[in-house]
Amino acid sequence: MTTRWLDDQDLRVWVRMVAVLELLPAQLDSHLRRVADLTYFEYYVLAMLSEAPERSLRMSELAVRTNATLPRLSHVARRLEARGLLQRTTAHDDRRVTMARLTEVGWDKVLVTAPEHVEQVRSLVFDALTPEQVTQLGEITEALLGVLDPEGHMSVPYSRHALDDL
Protein backbone atom coordinates (compact mmCIF):
# COMPACT_ATOMS: atom_id res chain seq x y z
CA MET A 1 0.00 0.00 0.00
CA THR A 2 1.56 3.21 -1.16
CA THR A 3 0.84 6.13 1.10
CA ARG A 4 0.00 9.52 -0.21
CA TRP A 5 1.52 11.82 2.38
CA LEU A 6 0.43 15.34 3.00
CA ASP A 7 2.67 17.85 1.31
CA ASP A 8 4.40 20.50 3.34
CA GLN A 9 1.71 23.11 3.05
CA ASP A 10 -1.13 20.73 3.83
CA LEU A 11 0.82 19.52 6.81
CA ARG A 12 1.21 22.97 8.28
CA VAL A 13 -2.46 23.67 7.73
CA TRP A 14 -3.42 20.39 9.36
CA VAL A 15 -1.30 20.93 12.46
CA ARG A 16 -3.10 24.19 13.03
CA MET A 17 -6.49 22.68 12.26
CA VAL A 18 -5.89 20.00 14.86
CA ALA A 19 -5.07 22.66 17.40
CA VAL A 20 -8.26 24.55 16.63
CA LEU A 21 -10.34 21.37 16.87
CA GLU A 22 -8.85 20.73 20.27
CA LEU A 23 -8.84 24.22 21.74
CA LEU A 24 -12.02 25.86 20.51
CA PRO A 25 -14.54 23.31 21.83
CA ALA A 26 -12.56 23.05 25.06
CA GLN A 27 -12.67 26.77 25.64
CA LEU A 28 -16.37 27.02 24.79
CA ASP A 29 -17.10 24.10 27.10
CA SER A 30 -15.12 25.55 29.95
CA HIS A 31 -16.80 28.92 29.57
CA LEU A 32 -20.28 27.36 29.64
CA ARG A 33 -19.45 25.28 32.69
CA ARG A 34 -18.29 28.37 34.47
CA VAL A 35 -21.10 30.78 33.63
CA ALA A 36 -24.02 28.35 33.35
CA ASP A 37 -22.98 25.06 34.94
CA LEU A 38 -23.73 23.36 31.65
CA THR A 39 -21.54 21.25 29.42
CA TYR A 40 -21.28 22.24 25.80
CA PHE A 41 -23.44 19.28 24.90
CA GLU A 42 -26.09 20.09 27.50
CA TYR A 43 -26.27 23.66 26.27
CA TYR A 44 -26.58 22.41 22.73
CA VAL A 45 -29.49 20.17 23.71
CA LEU A 46 -31.31 23.05 25.37
CA ALA A 47 -30.60 25.34 22.44
CA MET A 48 -31.97 22.82 19.93
CA LEU A 49 -35.15 22.51 21.94
CA SER A 50 -35.49 26.25 22.25
CA GLU A 51 -35.57 26.55 18.47
CA ALA A 52 -38.10 23.80 17.93
CA PRO A 53 -41.86 24.39 17.69
CA GLU A 54 -43.40 24.22 21.17
CA ARG A 55 -39.78 24.10 22.39
CA SER A 56 -40.28 20.38 22.08
CA LEU A 57 -38.84 17.47 20.09
CA ARG A 58 -39.01 13.73 20.25
CA MET A 59 -35.92 12.15 21.71
CA SER A 60 -34.83 10.44 18.50
CA GLU A 61 -35.08 13.66 16.51
CA LEU A 62 -33.20 15.56 19.21
CA ALA A 63 -30.53 12.88 19.07
CA VAL A 64 -30.09 13.30 15.33
CA ARG A 65 -29.79 17.07 15.58
CA THR A 66 -27.20 16.89 18.34
CA ASN A 67 -25.31 14.03 16.73
CA ALA A 68 -25.80 11.98 19.88
CA THR A 69 -26.71 8.35 20.35
CA LEU A 70 -30.04 7.73 22.00
CA PRO A 71 -28.49 6.25 25.14
CA ARG A 72 -26.28 9.26 25.59
CA LEU A 73 -29.15 11.66 25.11
CA SER A 74 -31.34 9.67 27.44
CA HIS A 75 -28.85 9.97 30.30
CA VAL A 76 -28.34 13.66 29.70
CA ALA A 77 -32.08 14.27 29.48
CA ARG A 78 -32.58 12.52 32.81
CA ARG A 79 -30.04 14.82 34.45
CA LEU A 80 -31.48 17.94 32.84
CA GLU A 81 -34.95 16.85 33.90
CA ALA A 82 -33.73 16.35 37.46
CA ARG A 83 -32.51 19.94 37.38
CA GLY A 84 -35.89 21.12 36.16
CA LEU A 85 -34.63 22.39 32.81
CA LEU A 86 -36.69 20.08 30.65
CA GLN A 87 -39.58 17.68 30.96
CA ARG A 88 -40.25 14.38 29.27
CA THR A 89 -43.71 13.12 28.41
CA THR A 90 -45.00 10.12 26.53
CA ALA A 91 -46.66 10.87 23.21
CA HIS A 92 -50.38 10.03 23.02
CA ASP A 93 -50.52 8.72 19.49
CA ASP A 94 -47.46 6.48 19.76
CA ARG A 95 -46.63 5.56 23.30
CA ARG A 96 -43.14 4.40 22.41
CA VAL A 97 -42.24 8.02 21.71
CA THR A 98 -40.94 10.40 24.37
CA MET A 99 -41.23 14.13 23.81
CA ALA A 100 -38.64 16.34 25.47
CA ARG A 101 -39.86 19.85 26.17
CA LEU A 102 -38.06 22.83 27.60
CA THR A 103 -39.58 24.05 30.88
CA GLU A 104 -39.94 27.72 31.68
CA VAL A 105 -36.86 27.43 33.84
CA GLY A 106 -35.01 25.83 30.94
CA TRP A 107 -36.15 28.56 28.59
CA ASP A 108 -34.96 31.22 31.04
CA LYS A 109 -31.67 29.38 31.29
CA VAL A 110 -31.23 29.61 27.53
CA LEU A 111 -32.26 33.28 27.52
CA VAL A 112 -29.64 34.10 30.12
CA THR A 113 -26.89 31.86 28.80
CA ALA A 114 -27.15 32.41 25.06
CA PRO A 115 -25.94 36.03 25.05
CA GLU A 116 -22.88 35.16 27.10
CA HIS A 117 -22.15 32.23 24.88
CA VAL A 118 -22.57 34.27 21.72
CA GLU A 119 -20.24 36.89 23.11
CA GLN A 120 -17.66 34.18 23.71
CA VAL A 121 -18.09 32.86 20.17
CA ARG A 122 -17.70 36.34 18.81
CA SER A 123 -14.56 37.08 20.73
CA LEU A 124 -12.92 33.72 20.05
CA VAL A 125 -13.85 33.45 16.39
CA PHE A 126 -15.48 36.28 14.50
CA ASP A 127 -13.51 39.14 16.00
CA ALA A 128 -10.32 37.39 14.88
CA LEU A 129 -11.38 37.07 11.25
CA THR A 130 -11.83 39.53 8.43
CA PRO A 131 -15.19 39.59 6.62
CA GLU A 132 -13.56 37.82 3.68
CA GLN A 133 -12.28 35.10 5.97
CA VAL A 134 -15.74 34.60 7.44
CA THR A 135 -17.10 34.13 3.94
CA GLN A 136 -14.31 31.70 3.15
CA LEU A 137 -14.90 29.80 6.38
CA GLY A 138 -18.54 29.46 5.40
CA GLU A 139 -17.59 27.92 2.08
CA ILE A 140 -14.96 25.67 3.61
CA THR A 141 -17.26 24.33 6.32
CA GLU A 142 -19.94 23.75 3.72
CA ALA A 143 -17.55 21.70 1.64
CA LEU A 144 -16.42 19.71 4.68
CA LEU A 145 -19.98 18.97 5.74
CA GLY A 146 -20.61 17.57 2.29
CA VAL A 147 -18.27 14.78 3.40
CA LEU A 148 -18.87 14.71 7.15
CA ASP A 149 -22.64 15.02 7.17
CA PRO A 150 -24.02 14.43 3.68
CA GLU A 151 -27.55 14.11 5.04
CA GLY A 152 -27.30 17.52 6.68
CA HIS A 153 -28.61 16.28 10.02
CA MET A 154 -26.74 18.84 12.03
CA SER A 155 -27.82 21.83 9.97
CA VAL A 156 -31.54 21.41 10.38
CA PRO A 157 -32.44 24.51 12.40
CA TYR A 158 -30.43 26.41 9.87
CA SER A 159 -31.10 29.90 11.13
CA ARG A 160 -34.66 30.06 12.27
CA HIS A 161 -34.31 32.52 15.08
CA ALA A 162 -31.21 34.46 15.87
CA LEU A 163 -31.34 33.56 19.51
CA ASP A 164 -29.79 30.33 20.48
CA ASP A 165 -28.07 29.49 17.35
CA LEU A 166 -25.50 27.23 18.79
Partner DNA sequence: GTGTATTAATTGATAGAACAACTAATACGA
Partner DNA sequence: TCGTATTAGTTGTTCTATCAATTAATACAC
Residue ranges in contact with DNA by CB under 7 A: 26, 30, 33, 39, 41, 58-60, 63, 68-79, 88, 94-99
Residue 45 or residue 110: which is nearer to DNA going by CB? 45
Query: Under the criterion CB under 8 A, does residue 135 sit at the interface with a copy of itself?
Result: yes
Tell the smallest beta-carbon distance from residue 152 to a copy of itself (Å). Answer: 9
Tell the smallest beta-carbon distance from residue 93 to DNA (Å). Answer: 7
- Cα–Cα–Cα angle for 63, 113, 91, rounded to 5 degrees: 35
Q: In Å, how far from its chain's centre is CA 29?
A: 11
Q: Which secondary structure element, helix H or strand E, spans residue 98, and what is its range? A: strand 98-102
Q: Provide the 3-class DSSP secondary structure of residue 156.
A: coil
Distance, in Å, from the CA atom of 59 to the CA atom of 5, rounded to the nearest integer, reads: 42
In whole angstroms, how far apart are CA 126 and each of 47, 120, 129, 133? 20, 10, 5, 9
Residue 70 or residue 148: which is nearer to DNA going by CB? 70
Tell the smallest beta-carbon distance from residue 165 to a copy of itself (Å). Answer: 5
Query: Under the criterion CB under 8 A, does residue 23 sit at the interface with a copy of itself?
Result: yes
Among 26, 70, 91, 105, binds a copy of itself (CB under 8 A): 26
Closest C-alpha among 32, 42, 56 to residue 112: 32
Residue 8 or residue 88: which is nearer to a copy of itself going by CB? 8
